[in-house]
Amino acid sequence: MIVPLEHILILAVILFLMGLACTLVRRGNLIMMLVGIEIMLNAAITAFVAGSAAWGKMDGQLFALFIIAMTSAEVSLALAMVVYLHRKRSTLNADAFSRMKG
Amino acid sequence: MTVLFYLLALVATVATFLCITERHPVHAVVYLVTSFFSLAVIFYLLGAPLVAAFEVIIYAGAIMVLFLFSIMMIRPEVTEIDLHPGFRDWWPALLLGGILLAALGYTIFSQPLRQGTVSPGEIREFARLLFQKYGVAVEIVSLQLLFALVGAHYLGGRRR
């Protein structure tokens, strides 16, 4: 370990909080909400890799790999949905989609 | 190495902050790519070169390009693209890029490059764990990718 584990976890927490803030605050743009989710998943990956380096186990890196694969599936579906919603309402404001059938 | 970690952590934090406060989505995505690059180097420093490579290839390469693609396809309403960017628009990019370049120069010139940071045994261990211990998870992830493909085709390929 080049730095103590706590410092990497602090970095991960800061990134996670910024992603959370981005998801909660930027509701006017669905794409920015997705960007916030990406930031949060990256913070999780950072925590996993830090744990893997701290305990000398490979499992953390494997979970990082699975998170990356999961993210690529999630993003492709979510962006297809954003394009679909924009085609329907021609807006990206999340508050415009408060009803499922409308 | 320790100094490098703190520099890269600073770059990642500042780039993410600029990303979430940026008004235009395209600029936000580009700041996020900067953050992902510095996180990838942090993963490399933490002894996870494969995850670092996947971070660059899949995250910065594929997912962010997908974001850019959909942003350009649907053209969001806020399009105050400044045609003549002044110093105000340039300094964050210059600062972050300068720190990244300084970190790169520090790595190259301060110490001899360690040959073979990752031993082949490490990669072999990684692959053995991935396909033997977590073989079921690999299958589930591949099914999930297939479902995502079908769903994205259904949602995006509809012609009206």
Asked if B55 and B91 sit in the same domain, the reply is yes
Does residue A100 fall inside a structural domain? no
So what's the pLDDT on residue B114?
A: 52
Asked if B23 and B45 sit in the same domain, the reply is yes
Which portions of chain B are predicted below pLDDT 70?
Answer: 76-90, 93, 107-108, 111-121, 158-160
State mean pLDDT over A19-33: 84
- DSSP H stretches of helix in chain B: 2-21, 25-45, 49-54, 64-74, 87-110, 120-128, 135-156
Q: What is the ipTM of this complex?
A: 0.89
So what's the pLDDT on residue A47?
A: 92
Q: Is A20 on the interface with B (CB under 8 A)?
A: no
So what's the pLDDT on residue B143?
A: 94
Does residue A52 fall inside a structural domain? yes
Range of the domain at A14: 5-91
Does residue A98 fall inside a structural domain? no
So what's the pLDDT on residue A66?
A: 93
Does residue A99 fall inside a structural domain? no
Number of structural domains in chain A: 1
Does residue A96 fall inside a structural domain? no
Per-residue pLDDT tens over the stretch B31-67? 999 999 999 999 988 888 889 999 999 988 899 999 9
Using CB atoms, which residue from B45, B66, B151 is nearest to A2? Answer: B45
Q: Is B131 on the interface with A (CB under 8 A)?
A: no
Give the phi and the psi of residue B21 in degrees, each rounded to 5. -100, 0
Instruction: Provide the CATH number for the domain around residue B46.
Output: 1.20.120.1200
Asked if B80 and B124 sit in the same domain, the reply is no
| Residue recorded with tokens 């962006």 | A79
Range of the domain at B81: 2-118
Per-residue pLDDT tens over the stretch A68-99? 999 999 999 998 888 888 888 777 777 777 77
What token pair was written down for B107? 């790595």
Q: What is the mean pLDDT of chain A?
A: 86
Nearest-CA residue of chain A relative to B71? A31
Asked if B114 and B124 sit in the same domain, the reply is no
State mean pLDDT over A23-32: 83
Number of structural domains in chain B: 2
- With b for 16 or more beta-carbon neighbours within 10 A and e for fewer, the B5-33 pattern comes to bebbbebbbbbbbbbbebebbbbbbbbbb
Instruction: Provide the CATH number for the domain around residue A23.
Output: 1.10.287.3510
Does residue A102 fall inside a structural domain? no
